[in-house]
Amino acid sequence: MVEKTPKITQTPLPYALNALAPVMSELQMDYHFNKHHKTYVTKYNETLDLIEDALQKQDFAKIARLAKNTKFFGGGNWNHTFFWEGLSPVGEVGGQLPSADSDLAKSITAAWGSIDKFITEFNAETAAIQGSGWGWLIYNPSTGGLEYRSSFNQDLITEQQPAGLVPLLNIDIWEHAFYIDYKSAKPDFLANIWKVVNWKKVEQRLGDAKKTAGRL
Ligand code: MN3
């Protein structure tokens, strides 16, 4: 007997809804987490039921269409959970840059010259994404270095080439991520988001990625 595919649940926010204000207000966070993000979870679970039904009916065209939806909704949940975990309130560790002698700071400096230059390029590339998507800092195990990547919609960074890219930080640039607080001022949202980036988490993700890649 094959076990049924498990439903997913939304991982709770690692801080209070109002904890990232004024970078993201409680109202902005409430809509983003409790409506937009939650909908991906609900729709993913609904899609599993629809797939089960289509499998029973051997409706192959429908199965193929629904498989794309699992990537969109499941990817939406994954991308958001990763995003929330990469942020932290200002009073905790949010915005505290990695120390200059850390592997993370050295890796960023090796790739961009300085953390400031990295942030400038990240924001310029991410602001230029046409439509909905995400900006990413990734570790490329084949080079051992850090890179910027962008993605559309709820695509996964692991779909990009070469295989094995490891995400370290992602920033949501869908309009729903900033419109309540910033209206159309996308560059202002991007300028402010770094005040709540959890660099400790990014450092930990880089360490884990290098261990997995056998480079530590
Ligand atoms: Mn979002």
- The answer for residues whose C-beta is within 8 angstroms of residue 2's C-beta and 6 or more apart is none
- Give residue 178 CA to ligand 1 midpoint distance, Å: 9
pLDDT band for 85, please (50, 70, 90 cuts): very high
- The answer for residues whose C-beta is within 8 angstroms of residue 132's C-beta and 6 or more apart is 152, 153, 173, 174, 175
- Give residue 128 CA to ligand 1 midpoint distance, Å: 17
| Mean pLDDT across 30-52 | 97
CB 122 within 8 A of CB 137: yes
pLDDT band for 202, please (50, 70, 90 cuts): very high
- Give residue 161 CA to ligand 1 midpoint distance, Å: 24
β partners of residue 152: 133
Q: Over 80: is that where the pLDDT of 2 sits? A: no
The encoded tokens of residue 150 equal 């962008």
Q: Over 80: is that where the pLDDT of 67 sits? A: yes
Q: Over 90: is that where the pLDDT of 105 sits? A: yes
- Give residue 63 CA to ligand 1 midpoint distance, Å: 26
- Give residue 21 CA to ligand 1 midpoint distance, Å: 17
The encoded tokens of residue 121 equal 């390029």
Question: Rg (Cα) of the chain, in Å, rounded?
Answer: 18
Place of tokens 């991906």: 40
Q: Over 70: is that where the pLDDT of 101 sits? A: yes
In this structure, what are the phi and psi dihedrals at residue 166, rounded to the nearest 5 degrees?
-115, 120
What pLDDT is attached to residue 128?
Answer: 97
Q: Over 90: is that where the pLDDT of 6 sits? A: no
Q: Which residue has the higher pLDDT, 2 or 135?
A: 135
Count of C-beta atoms within a 10 Å radius of residue 85? 16
What pLDDT is attached to residue 213?
Answer: 87
Which letter does DSSP use for residue 99 in this model? P
Place of tokens 């909905």: 132
| Mean pLDDT across 176-203 | 98
- Give residue 104 CA to ligand 1 midpoint distance, Å: 26
Which letter does DSSP use for residue 33 in this model? I
| Mean pLDDT across 23-37 | 98
What pLDDT is attached to residue 214?
Answer: 86
| Mean pLDDT across 58-75 | 96
Side chain identity, residue 108: I
Alpha-carbon distance of 124 to 16, in angstroms, equals: 30
- Give residue 3 CA to ligand 1 midpoint distance, Å: 31
pLDDT band for 1, please (50, 70, 90 cuts): low
- Give residue 177 CA to ligand 1 midpoint distance, Å: 5
- Give residue 100 CA to ligand 1 midpoint distance, Å: 31
pTM of the model: 0.96
